[in-house]
Amino acid sequence: MTEPIRFGDLRRQIAALRPEIDAAIARVLDRGWFILGEEGESFEREFAADMGVACAVGVASGTEAIVLALTALGIGPGDEVITVSATAVATVAAIRQAGATPVLVDMDEGMTLDPAQLQAAVTPRTRAVVPVHLYGQPADMAPILDLAAQHGLRVIEDACQAHGAEVEGRRVGTLGDAGCFSFYPSKNLGALGDAGLVTTGDADLGARLRSMRFYGQPRRDHVERHGINSRLDEIQAAILRAKLPRLDAWNVRRAALAAIYTADLADLETAGALALPWARKGCRHVYHLYAIRTHPRDALRAHLAECGIETLVHYPVPVHAQPAHAGTPVGPGGLPRTQAWAQTELSLPLYPELRDDEVRRVAEAVKAFFRK
């Protein structure tokens, strides 16, 4: 019987790293200090150095990274924040949690925020923009940053799916006022639980973030501002330290697997059967997901399941169509590309431990579907 191909299999990564992970956890247990300690401080320094940014602040999740970044920048009730509907719901949930009003605009052909739609959606109440580097593809940052400067907007990058992605040699998360990362286990750099981080080149903003993640305390029992409890724990920080040196190699491997998919499926794209992901010019795509688009998406997915191949859809219901977010303001251009994307997107298996022959088996199963 042919072995099933799972969409993701973290057991393979854990098996390869088990000695380092066990040692990292043991180090924390032996020290007996579990919150805001040496492992967290070391990971912040090492991640900041890897990113080429001055400051990194560990928090409890990627969602809270966005909440804290917005709040630390003074954005809240009465303010509008422009972002996309084509994203994980956490992006918009974080804007609401900060007390601001999300305004949703359409994606461009790269499946990230369309700068032209951003321009059209700016109002006197707009205070910030949250571009999402979706699936590991950097957003079109140059025009976004130009528009933000023209209108006096803060830029908070949602880099939760784009660890190590680059724009003209600079890592995403270092281009705006703040960058927000998730270390959910399946991310390009993942913890073994929830974890997140905010990057910034502004030392004062970094200091505010550090106090706000700890109830607004710059030091114990001294509360200077309102804050929450959002701390990166020592065990997750230690695990992330063990994994961080491998991030670039893992991203290279992801790109190599993506290249196999692209080469094997190129004829189907030429024939108009599907659309394949591509890297924006001057950018490094890190392929958190290999997201194709095809009109018979559901039939193809059922066929692949019959072949023992697991796939996922990211995301079948865009944020504006979710019941909890009904009535969220939408930019004047509407969301036609987002609607089409939600009906056609399909994510194929892709993770560093996937074998070349497994990728080719997936591609062959896709081709077999269209041959029928």
Predicted pLDDT at 1: 62
Placement of tokens 């959606």 in the chain: 121
What is the distance between the alpha carbons of residues 220 and 181, in angstroms, rounded to a whole number? Answer: 26
**177, pLDDT greater than 90:** yes
Those residues with Cβ within 8 angstroms of residue 286's Cβ, 6 or more apart along the chain or in another chain: 136, 162, 163, 164, 165, 188, 251, 254, 255
Q: Does domain 10-104+114-246 have CATH number 3.40.50.720?
A: no
Sequence letter at residue 267: D
Q: What are phi and psi of 129, to 5 degrees?
A: -130, 140
pLDDT in tens, 187-196: 999 999 999 9
Sequence letter at residue 220: R
**Residue ranges, CATH 3.90.1150.10, the chain:** 247-371
Q: Can you tell me the mean pLDDT for 214-218?
A: 91
- Cα dihedral value 101, 107, 111, 114, nearest 10: -100
Would you place residue 280 in the very low, low, confident or very high pLDDT band (cuts 50, 70, 90)? Answer: very high
**Residue ranges, CATH 3.40.640.10, the chain:** 10-104+114-246
Q: Can you tell me the mean pLDDT for 108-113?
A: 97
User: Whole-prediction pTM value?
Assistant: 0.97
Would you place residue 221 in the very low, low, confident or very high pLDDT band (cuts 50, 70, 90)? Answer: confident
Topology (CATH level 3) of domain 247-371: Aspartate Aminotransferase, domain 1 (3.90.1150)
